[in-house]
Amino acid sequence: MDSLLNFLKRIHILLIFVVLEAISLTSLIGGDVRRNSVFNTSANYIAGHVYDLTWRYVGYFYLREENASLMRQLSKIRSNSSSSYIIDTARFHDKLDTLGKLKYRYITASVVKNSVSRQNNFITLDQGSANGVREDMAVISASGVVGVIVAVSEHYASAISLLNRKIGISAKLKTNDFYGSIIWLGEDYRKAVLNEIPNHVELHQGDTVVTSGYSSIFPPGIPIATIESFEKNTEDNFYKINVKLLTDMKCVSNVFIIENLMQDEQLNLESLENKFVQ
């Protein structure tokens, strides 16, 4: 927005001239009905184009600010990992593992449809298979977790939202790595619960909850929520923990889609475990 203000400062003399001209034209046509009609038609046409150009310009800077916020989130993920990131284009972002092997790819996308008022909410994104998007990819915002891709067409993808009672996100406490799962109860779109944290763990209001990295979908350490309140449950020896979601799902517009390039290898290996439990 600073750039917009600087731009307006540079053209303020021109703006004053335009205002004075408008006043002169108003005085000129004020008493003539025919002139007034012609002027209004022309003025509406010109004004429409001016408003369109203005909002395109302003919208560009809002979008740039939000993209900058997304890049700051990517930097936070980078700082929380021993791995390094390589940014090869404006649209694709790659992460290397500790051995220098490419593990994650990040694709930016925009939200074209969203809901928060249902029991099972979904989000539609403007990237599809043509851009490498497929099912079981993570979706995050500049603030944290958003959801998981569940369906893909050539140019669009549908993600099951964090605000969906049929999804649970593997999560852990950032302070001590004790893990559980984040579940939305279908009530307040800003809040959820964290389950499976033992009563003996030390908790504090405001503690951050992040992705555990124990699934093949989300990288570890991506913010999800902060602890709002908690109480011990003596019946099952686990806390009852209420959390506040970090992503405002009602206004999310730009996101990252995360592809785990080693997902198939991990899932194939884990499927072999079934041979030893039968």
pLDDT in tens, 22-66: 666 555 545 554 454 444 444 444 544 544 454 445 444 555 555
Q: Which pLDDT band holds residue 228 (cuts at 50, 70, 90)?
A: very high
pLDDT digits (tens, 9 = 90+) for 100-126: 566 788 899 999 999 999 999 999 999
Distance CA 46, CA 49 (A): 5
141 plus 30 within the same structural domain: no
Q: Quick check: helix, strand or coil at residue 81?
A: coil
pLDDT digits (tens, 9 = 90+) for 129-162: 999 999 999 999 988 999 999 999 999 999 999 9
55 plus 125 within the same structural domain: no
249 plus 178 within the same structural domain: yes
235 versus 212: the higher-pLDDT residue is: 212
14 plus 84 within the same structural domain: no
For 234, other C-beta atoms within 10 Å of its C-beta total 8
Is the pLDDT confidence value at 249 over 90? Answer: yes
Residue 257 near residue 158, CB atoms below 8 Å? no
Residue 232 lies in a domain: yes
| pTM listed for this prediction | 0.66
* Tokens 């930016």, located at residue: 108
Residues 6+ positions from 258 with CB-CB distance below 8 Å: 104, 105, 106, 107, 137, 138, 139, 140, 217, 218, 219
159 plus 209 within the same structural domain: yes
> Structural domain tally of the chain?
2
Radius of gyration of the chain (CA): 26
Burial 55-89 (b: 16+ CB within 10 A, else e): eeeeeeeeeeebeeebeebbeebeeebebeeeeee
Surface-to-core class of residue 34, CB atoms within 10 Å of its CB (0-12 exposed, 13-18 middle, 19+ buried)? exposed
Q: Which pLDDT band holds residue 72 (cuts at 50, 70, 90)?
A: low
DSSP-derived letter for residue 141 is -
56 plus 95 within the same structural domain: no
pLDDT for residue 104: 83
65 plus 130 within the same structural domain: no
Phi, psi of 144, rounded to the nearest 5 degrees: 165, -155
pLDDT for residue 145: 95
Distance CA 171, CA 111 (A): 24
Distances from the Cα of 160 to the Cα of 84, 119, 141, 165, angstroms? 29, 12, 14, 10
Q: Which pLDDT band holds residue 82 (cuts at 50, 70, 90)?
A: very low
Residues 6+ positions from 72 with CB-CB distance below 8 Å: 142
Per the structure, the complete domain to which residue 32 belongs is given by: 2-77
194 plus 57 within the same structural domain: no
Distance CA 241, CA 63 (A): 36
125 plus 17 within the same structural domain: no
Section 177-191 average pLDDT: 95
58 plus 97 within the same structural domain: no
